[in-house]
Amino acid sequence: MPFTIPKERWTAQVQTTTIGAPEADGGTRTSTVTVGGEQTLPFLHFEGETPNPPVIAIEVLDEAPTGWPEPLLKHYQEVLGDPAAWAQKAVAEFGADMICLRLVSANPDGTNASADDCAETIQSVLKAVGVPLIIWGCGDDDKDNEIMPFCSQAAAGERCVLGSATQDNYKTICASALADGHLIVNESPLDINIQKQVNILVTDMGMDLNDIIMYQITGALGYGVEYAYSILERTRLAALGGDKMLQMPMLSIVGSEAWRVKEAWQSEEEAPEWGPLDKRGIMWEVATASLFLHAGTDILVMWHPEAVARLHDLIAELIASPQA
């Protein structure tokens, strides 16, 4: 019996979504990002097309973080507290395809920055870089509902991605995105049914399916990958199987999750059983990101420049045809 490669006949494909608007489309972006369109499980070129490689957004915080470990800190030291410079460095030096701007300063338990301050930050970042933006609130629902309309307005027409809409809190952000021509991230806690529900809720409000990115919560290697990996995989299977409400591109937040993990930052004195510290965090971020890539994610939000470079290489290798 001769051997033939068993192929799946998928009935559908992932949605194609473009982020960022160039001048011709009413924005100021000098580059845009297109994700999605996969006709098969990740990178199985013998079976279907992967027209758009996954992309990497580098996360920029609008105020200096506390407690970053040295191996991470040293790459960003001089730009911390200056989101525009941070974003510029991420694009020019570290090759970010996008910037994921997180407005931590708005948090009422912290600096409690005003909506105007946040809007100003966004404008400065838009000026500093030409790549598309993902703009994320501070995580406090009430405050985010207060600032997001202003933030959205400040970037009107740029086709940014606004984050995030959840089952319990989606109306304000959705209305803002609709008003100003942005996309949104729909978030759910590792639960496909909730993800679908949020997607339905925002489309009921008039959101176009093509303007949605899915985020199903990321857990780091050793701290949730066992769940997140399969949720991504199951969602992608549902998309290829024809479930219209789960066909949007997927996003994974890797940097902040990986570097929060003790294995990434705990000193050699505290944890001699784990070996030297200098590469541990990078490897933790790379390993986490690479697993999600294999599970089907389209957008990786990352921190360490070395990890970003490794993932860019890996994506290039996976998107290429197998070398026979």
Partner 1 sequence: MALTAMDIYKNLPKTNCGDCGVPTCLAFAMKLAQKQASLDECPHITEEAKEALSGSSAPPMKIITIGTGEKALKIGGETVLFRHEETFHHPCGIAIQVNSNLPEDELRQQISTICETEFDRVGMTFRLDLVALVDNDGNLPAAAAVAQQVSSLPLILVSDDPQAVRAALEVCAEDRPLICAADADNFAEMTGLAQEFSCPLAIRGETLEQLYELSEKALEAGVADLILDSSACDSSSVLQDQTTIRRAAIKEKVKPLGFPTIGIAIGDDEIDKVTSGCELIAKYAGIVVTDLLTRDTLLPLITARLNIYTDPQKPIQVESGVYEVGEPDAKSPVLITTNFSLTYYTVEADVSAGHLDAWIVVVDTEGTSVLTAWAAEDFTPEIIAKTIKECGIEDKVDHRIGVLPGGVAVLSGDLEEASGWQIVVGPRESSGIPAFFKPEYTQRIG
Residues that bind partner 1 (CB under 8 A): 2-3, 5-6, 41-46, 189, 221-223, 225-227, 229-230, 233-234, 237, 262-263, 266, 270, 273-277, 279-280, 282-284, 286-287, 290-291, 294-295, 306, 310, 313-314, 317-324
Do 287 and 221 contact (CB within 8 A), yes or no?
yes
Of the two residues 189 and 206, which places its CB atom closer to ligand B12 in the complex? Answer: 189
For ligand B12, what does the binding mask look like between residues 232 and 261, x meaning CB under 6 A?
-------------------------x----
User: Which partner, ligand B12, partner 1, none, binds residue 282 by CB below 5 to 8 Å per kind?
Assistant: partner 1
Of the two residues 17 and 166, which places its CB atom closer to ligand B12 in the complex? Answer: 166
Q: Residue 163: which H helix or E strand, with range? A: strand 161-165
* Using rule CB under 6 A, residue 219 touches ligand B12: yes
User: Which partner, ligand B12, partner 1, none, binds residue 217 by CB below 5 to 8 Å per kind?
Assistant: ligand B12
By CB under 6 A, which span of 93-101, 104-112, 128-136, 190-198 interacts with ligand B12?
A: 190-198
Q: Minimal CA–CA distance to 52: which of 61, 60, 43, 63? A: 43
Q: What radius of gyration, in Å, describes the C-alpha atoms of the chain?
A: 19
C-alpha to C-alpha distance for 134 and 202, rounded to whole angstroms: 18
The residue from 76, 94, 223, 229 that contacts ligand B12 (CB under 6 A) is: 223
Do 248 and 19 contact (CB within 8 A), yes or no?
no
The identity of residue 87, as a single letter, is: A
**What value, to the nearest 5°, has the Cα angle with vertex 18 and ends 203 and 63?**
90
How many residues lie near ligand B12 (CB under 6 A)?
A: 10
CA distances 289 to 7, 133, 195, 286, Å, are: 27, 20, 21, 5
For the bound state, the minimum distance from the C-beta of residue 265 to partner 1, rounded and expressed in Å, comes to 9
Q: Minimal CA–CA distance to 33: which of 182, 160, 141? A: 160
User: Which partner, partner 1, ligand B12, none, binds residue 191 by CB below 5 to 8 Å per kind?
Assistant: ligand B12
